[in-house]
Chain A
Amino acid sequence: MSSQPVDHSLQDPPKLPFEPLIQRNAVITEQPWVRWLLTALALVFLAGFLLLPLVAVFVEALRNGVGTYLDAVRDPDAIAAIELTLTVAAIAVPLNTLFGICAAWAVTKHTFRGKQFLITLIDLPFSVSPVVSGLIYVLIFGAQGWLGPWMSEHDFKVIFAIPGIVLATVFVTFPFVARELIPLMQEQGTDDEQAALSLGATGWQTFMRVTLPNIKWGLLYGVLLCNARAMGEFGAVSVVSGHIRGMTNTMPLHVEILYNEYNFAAAFAVASLLAMLALVTLVLKSFLEWRLGSELAATRKH
């Protein structure tokens, strides 16, 4: 006989041994001093490389007093730079939000040939150096570029003008919204949309009433990151802008010019504005992550 006969019918189920609540995290097996050392190292690194520079920006900006600080910020060139930065962001961010939603929609809700290629293409701006992306536009639209002669004939300037700066910014910040939405929409699947369609909704109604509410927090998060980058972009913009004071200087470029002129207080004053933008972004980002986190958790609960 190969198998041992067993009679389970009359036995009580075996009693589980009393299990104590988990007292220790099983993953942490290191000695306490190792743990303290690693934590301390991480904190020192963070303080030295992130916190210190941030503090330095504000300290340097206010070194010669609040008056100098305000003067630097109120300087007409500085105001022009701030205006230009805001204008560029106001154009680039909505454009990329729209593109990002379209791209994520196409990638996640449909199947088509070349989808993988599209996903790779979306990532291109992340993998190309910003300076190169700026140069591309110079090559196309510059005075010696492909379209340069035709454009100067028609008196339309792209390079060393606002359109070039917008183009470069759009290119560099393109992936942020799409990258944020694609995994989120992939996880949500297409059941909700199919349900809406089967209930008689049109494509547009489905998008506005079902898809958009489902992705709103992720979308905001992507827009926020996109905006931070749009305002802070240096490399690509630097190549196409021409650094004309009061005309084509964005805030990061303005900071550089002031710094190169040894006008440290003014440079740091404008830089502090960018740093504040970064802080606001961080706070909003944490808030959204908190919202997004609970939303994602709720999705998984279903």
Chain B
Amino acid sequence: MQIQIRGIQKTFGSFQALTGVDLDIESGELIALLGPSGSGKTTLLRTIAGLEFADSGRILFGNEDTAGIPVRERRVGFVFQHYALFKHMTVFDNVAFGLQVRKASERPAKDAIRAKVLELLDLVQLSGLDKRYPSQLSGGQKQRVALARALAIEPRVLLLDEPFGALDAKVRKDLRRWLRGLHDKTGYTTIFVTHDQEEALELADRVVVMNRGRIEQVGSTDEVYERPATPFVFDFLGGVNVLPGIARGREIDVVGVSAPLPCGTCDHTGAVDIYVRPGDLRVADAAQPSFEAEILAVQRTGPIVRWDIRARALDQQLEVEIPHLHHDVKQHVPGQTVRLRLNQYSVFARGAKGDARPKALPDTVLIGRERERGRLG
């Protein structure tokens, strides 16, 4: 089901939850609404479901305007963050609920309901647990029951509110992969809400990054990660170091190094902020333009080694992430000096961070990436 969202506004008292949201969702897409708490992502999801009502704007399912259609008749499969399973019913009755409450004329026969429920339980890999009660299930199992229950009504769109929020890290990862597989198999148009950027990037076809009730960027996972449209998106999708710099035409001066403002034909003069991910600060060869930094602390987390460094030219503490193969245990110890270079970075006009949209700098970002992902990015 194709969904069109047009100019949705919503306020709670004096709080602007959504300020004019426009979004097109293609049939069969898996979309993530990503943002911090209070960004309006859950409100948007609940508005699509009909659990909240927009102050203005329209939501179309296909060509049908949903205004005035109550949640009961929208045929949306909504999966709640805390599952909202009916505690006093068995797994079977939970999944069958949506079919059993239909009018007698539309209700499938008992055998048909039974067959359908068992088929769905098979799909979510819970065969044999149909007689259990929700309290006898693990978090991941409950989540899958909730999903089967939502799928039972053959929804026009599947809406998931923080689907993995209440699960522990390992289960979350497994379930994520499984959900992606399920989506590919069933093809339901699916929208899910998350504040976990890793989850959004791994699972979704397209990511909608939201902040303060508006959409910051919509794009494929590659687009939002590699070409963030705003400082907020850059900041939200992974860690970031912000370096002050000066742009002079086609060049920028940053940490005493001259670097290109490499967006083809653009130029800019004035103060800028250079956004660099911790993984894009690399140890430099002697020949490369580089800046000097002192290692303050070293911490190893799994395959990545994290350094806290202080750039000499800036007197500013920065974060660096190095694959542990590149980390020389003897050399790279606190107190040592290293030379670093900027690999990939984005440039925003100063003052763009915060609530203001980035001031239109011609071709804001887009700095050539040294395509060296193959050589251990």
Contact = CB atoms under 8 A, between A and B. Distances in A.
Contact of A205 (B78, B85, B101, B295): B101
A192 interface: yes
Contacts of A38: none
Contact of A210 (B77, B86, B297): B86
A10 B332 CA distance: 12
Interface in A158-216: 191-192, 194-202, 205, 209-210, 213-214
B97 A196 contact: yes
B298 A7 contact: yes
A5 interface: yes
A50 interface: no
Interface in B119-145: 134-135, 142
Interface in B293-349: 295-300, 305, 329, 333-335
Contacts of B297: 3, 5-8
6 contacts: A3-B296, A192-B84, A197-B72, A200-B153, A209-B86, A214-B87
A194 B305 contact: no
Nearest to B334: A5
Nearest to B149: A199
Contacts of A209: 86, 97, 101
Given A198-B74, A302-B85, 16 more contacts: A5-B295, A9-B305, A9-B329, A10-B329, A191-B82, A195-B78, A195-B149, A197-B71, A198-B78, A198-B150, A199-B149, A201-B98, A209-B86, A298-B135, A301-B135, A302-B134
Given A7-B298, A7-B334, A194 B101 contact: no
Q: How large is the interface on B (under 10, 10 to 19, 20 to 34, 35 or more residues)?
A: 35 or more
A87 interface: no
Contact of B333 (A3, A7, A198, A301): A7
A202 B296 contact: no
3 closest cross-chain pairs (CB), A and B: A5-B334, A199-B98, A191-B84
Interface of B: 49-51, 70-78, 80, 82-88, 97-98, 101-102, 134-135, 142, 149-150, 152-153, 295-300, 305, 329, 333-335
Contacts of B74: 198
Given A8-B299, A302-B82, A302-B134, A198 B51 contact: yes
Contacts of B82: 191, 302
A298 B98 contact: no
A5 B335 contact: yes
A17 to B, nearest CB: 24
Nearest to B106: A200
Nearest to B75: A200
A149 to B, nearest CB: 50
A232 B96 CA distance: 46
A39 interface: no
A263 interface: no
Contacts of B101: 196, 199-202, 205, 209
Contacts of B329: 9-10
Nearest to A10: B329
Contacts of B88: 213-214
B135 A194 contact: no
A9 B80 CA distance: 40
Nearest to A199: B98
